[in-house]
Each structure stands twice: as C-alpha cells, then as structure tokens.
Chains A and B, each alone.
Chain A
C-alpha cells in the first residue's frame, strides 16, 4: 500500500531531495554531533557504552528521519489513527508485559532495544488530533459532542503513563495534545473549565502520588529542604551550571560530572553537563539550535497547504519546544525534577526515535507541502 502511494506521487527523487529544509537538517545534525560530544564526556572521555550506543542510535534514527520524510504526507494523514492505536496498544502492553526499573514500569523488551511507548505516544497523540481537527469543520469544533473523542484519546494514554508511574512524560504527552486542540480553535472557555476541573481534582490526584513524587514537588519549592536527598539533584545541577561561567570549564573538564556529583548526567541532566563544560556561550548555542529547529518547523507549517500539515507542524514544534524548555527549566531549578529528556541530546533510544519520527513527518509536510492530504 505504502509503495503504491509513493509511486503515485508526482515528485521525482531529485525534487524531493531539493525540497528538503537543509537548515533544519543541518541544525539537527549539529545538535546530534554536540550530543555525541556530551555523551563522550559523560563516559569520562572514552568511547564507552553510552557514547557508542548513542552514536549508533543517532545515526540509525537520523536515517529513519530521511525515510519518514520521503514518505508521502498523505500516508501519514491516512494512517494517523492507526499509528495512535498501535502506540496505545504498545502502552497497554507495557502495563502487562513491561519491564520494571527503579520502581516504574515504562519499557517493553523488544530484544534489540527496550522501547518506551510513552515517548512514541507524544507523536501519536499529535498525529491523531491533527487529523481529527483537520476533518472537523470549523462550526463543529466547539460543540460538546465533537470534544468527546479528543478528551478520550487525550486522557487514556495520560492515565496509562501517569500510573506507570511517569508523571513527567504524561504531562508532556498532554501538552502536545492540548496544543493541537487549542490551535484548532477550541475555545479558551473549555481549557479554563478543564483547568478548573483539574485544580479541583488536584488534591485527589496528589493523594495518588507516590511519596517520591510528592517529595520532588516539595523539594522544588525549597531545594535546601533536604540537600542530600531529593534536593541534591537540583543543587548539584545549579552548581555545575553556575560554575561553568561564561566559557565553561572546557571539554572533558566538568568536575561536577566526572566526579559523579551530577545525577543522571546521560539523560535528564545532559544539558547541565554541556553547560558546565562549555559555559554560557555553549548553552546559548544549544538554545539557538533548538530555536532554529522550532522556527524551521513552524515555517514548514506556514508553507504547507493542508490544515493537517499546519496543525501537525505547529503542534509538534510547540511540543518540541516544550520538551526542551521543560528539561532546561528543570535542570536550571525553575521546575521540579519531573524526568523529561532533552530532545536529541539525551541518552535514550525511544526518545530519539520519537523525536526523529516527529521531525520526519514535519519534513514530509515540507516535501509534500502542496499535496492535498485527502
């Protein structure tokens, strides 16, 4: 089926390659290289497990990005619901066959890799809702019965992920979904109402939180509350970043990281490590790359003809932006430690896969910008 549609496309391979957004591709590639540098530093300046496997993943999924890009946007549109359902089934699978690590069940053992379906769901939900709101006419968008389905597809995976438990990822999934709904024109009123409902339900939700999650929130409010316990991560991360100064301590010279003061330096705190070694200007450069990526995706949204493409690109760009800033604000001590990877930079196959899939679909919107989706 996929092959048949591809042939139907009127674009030659040369056209496709020419219409790729090279600024976006180069930004992603540079970011990937920087992430390899950072990973190399976390391994203490050697090519060890984390570095090697990160390099492999980056290039494999970077390749996948091109494959996804060259697939017709019409395909992604038509298969959106199916993709969502597939990811949802994987999430359900986690619930029953998942691997448990440090108290939470997030992974599926696929023999060649441990897949974290909640990461994929970040893209799946955006795809689903983009298609849904593409199809709903503008008059009906704010009718209650048309709100029913989005709420269900939004809430279901969130609950599944939150009970893994993985509060951070569930909130990030929700952020992507809500963005689509809002961009599609759902009235502010509905967000306000559900916001109030959320606040009303918050005490009940808190009672379901695990003690470590409660402690993280309290610690965020006052990191010095328990400097050697839950506040340790925030304090050490701030020390690492702050001590980096303007130019950083130099590549492989981040004392906070190689002396193991920095927790989870491969994953959530990779920006901290980078910032310690390359300082304010290094951090600014990373921020610039991310901003460039976000801007290019938004630009694709501007030029793509279909509302599906626009909704997808805008929402993905926003979600991508949120992933980045949530992670950064977390390591900068502006948000509680909720456990969210930094796109592309952080170690983690599922996150890399999800982000590359998301970027690929956005690039597909660019290549097939004039192709109607239905």
Chain B
C-alpha cells in the first residue's frame, strides 16, 4: 500500500487529471457567473446604485428665503423684515432628546403644549431635518441659551429674518403671513418644492396675492455626510433668492391718519386716484395686529379676534357687502338721463311718501321735499323722486348702468377675500331666487336698498368714474408705471379747447373707454353732488370745506338693516335710540377737489346711522389729508411721465 506500483501511480494521476478537468469547468462557470453579476450591478443597474450612493452621501438643508418687502407709494416699507433670534434643533445630533427638552423647557420657558407639538413634528420628519423650537426669542433668552449651549447637543441658535409690520394701519390690505398649513401645501402649487420648516406664507391680502413672487427662491446647503450623519464637507451652497419687493400705490401717512380716525368704529375708507385708479388709501376698522401672526398666534388673541362682533379680521373695503343706499342715486339719475327717461328739469312732487302697487313707499323726509327736480333730488336725497325715476327707468336698465360703473363684480385682481356683491335685475332674481321681479322691488332698488349689495371699494370706483368725466378706470394697488392715458386726454382737451376732432376719434386715440353716451349727463350728476355737499339743504352741507382747495362733491347714503315698522315711523324713532345692530350703515361717497377732481373717496360706518352725520365728517378729514399730500404724489406721478 505504501509502495504503489508505477502503473498504479499513472492511473491515479490520470484520474486526478480527469477530475481536475471537471473542477476547472465548474470554475469557469462560476467565473462567468461572477462577471455576469458585475455586469448587472455595474453596467445595467449602475444609475440606480449611483442614485442610492448619492442619497447616502448628500444631505440637504434648506434655507428659508427672505420675503420681499412691500412699500408704499413713497417707498416707505409697510411690510418689512426684521432680525429675529431663533432656536433650531437637529434631532439626530442629540443623544438624549427627552433630557434636552427638559433643559430647553427651563431655559426658554416652553409650554407643555409646545413640547407635545415639537415631539409630534420630530416624529414626522427625517432625523436630520431641523425643527424650530422657538422662532422669536428675546435677546436675553438668546444669550442665556448661548451660555448653556455646550450642554445642549443638537441645538442651534439662529439669527434669522422674519416679517415685521411697522404699523397695523394697513393690516387688512397687506394681510398677514403665518406658517404654511397642510392645506396651503396641498393647494398652492408654488409651495411644493419650496417648503422649509418655519417658512411663512401669505394668508390674506397682498401677502397672499403676491405670495408666489414675494416668497423668494429657496436656498439650500448640500453637505456630504458620513454613515453616522456627521457633516464631512460642504458641497454646494445656494443662498436662494430673496423674494421680489413690491411698491404699492398706498400712502402710508394717509393710512395711519385714516386708521386713527376710524378707531373703535366698524368702518371702512377707500380713496382712489380718479384718473389712474391708484388706491391711495384702503383702511378697514377695527384692525388687528399682523405681527401677532408671524410667530405663531396666541390662542387667546385669536379667539378674541374671531369672537369680536365688529369683525376685525374682515377687510370691509373689499369683503364687506352693504346695500349702497342713496349713494346709488347718482347712477339711477345718470341711467335715467342716458336712457332718455327723464330730463334734468322734470319734476315730481314729494309728499313724504307714495303709494304704489298697494304698498307705501316712504321718503326719509317725513314731511316731504315738495317739488323736486334732478338736482334737488340728489342734493336732498329725495326718495320719492327716485321712486318715480326708478319706476320709469326699470330695474334692468338701472342694473346695466350700475354694472358698467363697476358694481356687482370684483374690481381688484387676485384677492381671495374680495366679494362681488349684487346688482339685481329681473333675470338675476329668476336665476338666484327663483321668483319673478315685483315692481315694488324696482323702487327699493332705486334708492339702493333691497337686493343691492356692494363693497366700499366698488362705491369708490363708481364715484371716481363719475368724477373723471365718465371714463372707465381699473383700480390698482400695485404701483405700475404704465399709466391710464386719461390725464393726457384731459390735458390735451384743456390745451386745445377748439379741437375739431370728433370726440370718438379722440377717445380712441387715448385708448379711453367712456361709460356715457353724453358727457353732459355726467356733468349734471357732478353738479348735483356739488350741491348736495355745498349748498344749503344738501345732505352733507354741514361738513363742507369752504376752502376751494378742498371743496368736495359727495353723496350720502344710509343702508337699511331693518325696515322701519309703521309704528316706529309714526313715533319718529331716531337711529341713535335703536339697538346698535339695528342701526343703518352710514355711507358717504365724494370726489375732490370739485373744480379739478383728483381723488374719490368712499366711507362706510357700520351701524353709524345716517351717512351725513357719521360718514361725511370722516370723509371731510381724509379728503383734506389726501389733498395736502397731492403735490408730493404728483411729483412722483410726473416722474413716470404722467401729465397732470
């Protein structure tokens, strides 16, 4: 056995060789298998693994962009940014998050609710994504935090910027910003790739309208991280882009002044340039403090706001709907003139009431106005005169004129809170109420009651379009160098009083759209409004300006909330003695200066009683303020080439 014969050895070595050959074949197969696997991983699936590798490698931290500022007409920032001190936390950098929260709670005075909220947020997001523990802490808290920082692993003190409103007078039109809600993220497409924890989005007003542009472009820091989440090096940094800044047509000084005037009232004021539609002022009262919304709203403050009966959160200038009341009489008269239904000197006798269709229609002047023509009808705001006019005119023709002048539709672009209001007619009633029109309702419409609903901005626009001679303008709040050419037209007319060119051609040269058939009718209405404000017996005579520089022409209005009962009427119940909620809304519209109209104004005081008493005095003061600033405004307008 130990000495095998040589033949044996040869047989054995042949056997070994044979078996080795089999093994070698098997090896070749395995080799091919391994190469195949390499081909699969490194060639066929390389992009998949490349992505996975990059995912491992890079982590991005997004940087919230700085919100663009909003300025007034004179470049004063009315929505600006301020430096704030914040506390951020990256959960994965903390070894013991529970302990950390206990420490933070004492250092920053966090509430238990806040802690619960923070823990919920942490559970939802990736461990390396920072959360904001506090987004606005005081300097002393911030320095205390820095003192303890060495024992607060994962905590990062951050100096950031946040929205700051220097004044709350423009709170409604500016709107406010607040943390993006789940709904915001779902519905607003532009937020999709934009969301950073702690980023504010515009919720109402201009902040919302301009949000997409003003919010800016998000920045990011891309870091290479190792398997333990530690940042190894910065790969890329993109500062993002601050949002676009916007200049508005608002005058901050007027805003402040008006807001002060409206203090403690539920009221609204709009002021508009009658030639280019620039909104000079737009104030709603009572206001709210927009800065409160920026850093997470206090619950009590929020509850106070939504429970307040004066509705401080509503922008009454564009979302408040009120019957236009007697302010509509300007349009009723104009419509009647334009349609040839009446002549200016046609008269009716007002005995304080008329009976028609088995119903009594009262004039606000119980004893009646006697013989009334158009001028006197507007001056005294005689209801009976307008009942008669409306009856002759009919509601459909009235609604046509009213719509032309901007009632019943949204007149400002892009404000979700704006409402359209209602200009009723027979078709409208059939469609929305499902009933036929009663002739009596035409009479109510003739004095701006019944179904009529309008916003103070619409009334302001209506007045502005009367004031400018009856040309269409578009209200605007964002400053725009492109001007309506109405001023050029007026200038041309003044310089060439005997221009032989036909008016039609002239108007088309200046790209103007007249709202009248005969401009003389517009002048008649303007004259009647003048008398209402400046001649004895006019409804706002007591609140006129003697100074020609400020003289305005206006029209009062009171929109009824509740119909007077016959008994109340007999007892001559005064508005002041009614419960607050039952009092009429006071309205006043005007334009000034009368000789050379520049601005139109509308004033609404909710439950203020009569327009002459409650609304006109406010208008008087605001008009003065606006006109005092007219020269300043003119300078800027002339810089952009607007002829005055």
Question: A residues bordering B, Cβ < 8 Å?
Answer: 135-138, 140, 179, 182-185, 236, 238-246, 255-256, 259-261, 275, 279-280, 283-284, 287, 291, 294, 298, 301-302, 307, 310-311, 314, 318, 321, 325, 328-329, 332, 334
Sampled A-B contacts (10; CB under 8 Å):
A182-B23, A183-B20, A242-B45, A275-B42, A287-B34, A307-B12, A310-B16, A325-B30, A329-B34, A334-B34
The reply to whether A185 and B15 contact each other, CB–CB distance below 8 Å, is yes
Q: A245-B42, A310-B16 are in contact. List 5 more A-B contacts (CB 8 A).
A: A137-B8, A256-B57, A259-B56, A280-B43, A291-B31
The reply to whether A138 and B8 contact each other, CB–CB distance below 8 Å, is yes
| Chain B residue at smallest Cβ distance from A279 | B42
B292 to chain A, nearest CB (A): 44
Contacts of A294 in B (CB 8 A): 27
Contacts of A138 in B (CB 8 A): 4, 8, 11-12, 15
The reply to whether B20 and A283 contact each other, CB–CB distance below 8 Å, is no
Contacts of B436 in A (CB 8 A): none
The reply to whether B225 and A259 contact each other, CB–CB distance below 8 Å, is yes
The reply to whether B46 and A245 contact each other, CB–CB distance below 8 Å, is yes
Known: A138-B4, A314-B20. A239 touches B52 (CB 8 A): yes
- Chain B interface size, as a band, is 35 or more
* Distance in angstroms between the alpha carbons of A260 and B228 in the assembled complex: 8
The reply to whether B1 and A137 contact each other, CB–CB distance below 8 Å, is yes
Contacts of B49 in A (CB 8 A): 238-243
B223 to chain A, nearest CB (A): 11
Partner pick for B23 among A183, A260, A325, CB 8 A cutoff = A183
**How many residue pairs at the A-B interface have CB separations less than 8 Å?**
134
The winner among B11, B15, B42, B50 for most chain A CB atoms within 10 A is: B42
Which residues in chain B, 3-60, are within 8 Å of chain A measured between CB atoms? 4, 8-9, 11-13, 15-17, 19-20, 23-24, 27, 30-31, 33-35, 37-39, 41-43, 45-46, 48-50, 52-54, 56-57
Partner pick for A183 among B16, B46, B53, CB 8 A cutoff = B16
The reply to whether A246 and B23 contact each other, CB–CB distance below 8 Å, is no
Known: A260-B227, A310-B16. A255 touches B56 (CB 8 A): yes
| Chain B residue at smallest Cβ distance from A295 | B24
Q: Is B234 an interface residue (CB 8 A)?
A: no
| Chain A residue at smallest Cβ distance from B37 | A332
Q: Is B135 an interface residue (CB 8 A)?
A: no
B232 to chain A, nearest CB (A): 7
* Distance in angstroms between the alpha carbons of A287 and B36 in the assembled complex: 12
Q: Is B2 an interface residue (CB 8 A)?
A: yes
The reply to whether A243 and B34 contact each other, CB–CB distance below 8 Å, is no
| Chain A residue at smallest Cβ distance from B46 | A245
The reply to whether A255 and B57 contact each other, CB–CB distance below 8 Å, is yes
* Distance in angstroms between the alpha carbons of A135 and B1 in the assembled complex: 7
CB-based closest 5 A-B pairs: A242-B49, A243-B53, A260-B227, A280-B42, A259-B226
Interface string of B592-606 (1 = CB under 8 A from A): 000000000000000
Q: Is B72 an interface residue (CB 8 A)?
A: no
Which residues in chain B, 275-334, are within 8 Å of chain A measured between CB atoms? none
* Distance in angstroms between the alpha carbons of A313 and B224 in the assembled complex: 49
The reply to whether A314 and B42 contact each other, CB–CB distance below 8 Å, is no
The reply to whether B53 and A256 contact each other, CB–CB distance below 8 Å, is yes
B598 to chain A, nearest CB (A): 68
* Distance in angstroms between the alpha carbons of A185 and B2 in the assembled complex: 17
* Distance in angstroms between the alpha carbons of A298 and B34 in the assembled complex: 20
Contacts of A241 in B (CB 8 A): 38, 41-42, 49
Contacts of A182 in B (CB 8 A): 19, 23
B285 to chain A, nearest CB (A): 59
A53 to chain B, nearest CB (A): 24
B224 to chain A, nearest CB (A): 7
The reply to whether B16 and A185 contact each other, CB–CB distance below 8 Å, is yes
* Distance in angstroms between the alpha carbons of A244 and B52 in the assembled complex: 12
* Distance in angstroms between the alpha carbons of A329 and B226 in the assembled complex: 26
| Chain B residue at smallest Cβ distance from A185 | B15
| Chain A residue at smallest Cβ distance from B20 | A314
Contacts of B227 in A (CB 8 A): 259-261
The reply to whether A298 and B41 contact each other, CB–CB distance below 8 Å, is no
Contacts of B225 in A (CB 8 A): 259
B222 to chain A, nearest CB (A): 13
| Chain A residue at smallest Cβ distance from B28 | A291
The reply to whether A284 and B38 contact each other, CB–CB distance below 8 Å, is yes
* Distance in angstroms between the alpha carbons of A260 and B230 in the assembled complex: 11
| Chain A residue at smallest Cβ distance from B41 | A242
| Chain B residue at smallest Cβ distance from A243 | B53
* Distance in angstroms between the alpha carbons of A179 and B49 in the assembled complex: 37
Contacts of B24 in A (CB 8 A): 298
Partner pick for B12 among A185, A240, A332, CB 8 A cutoff = A185
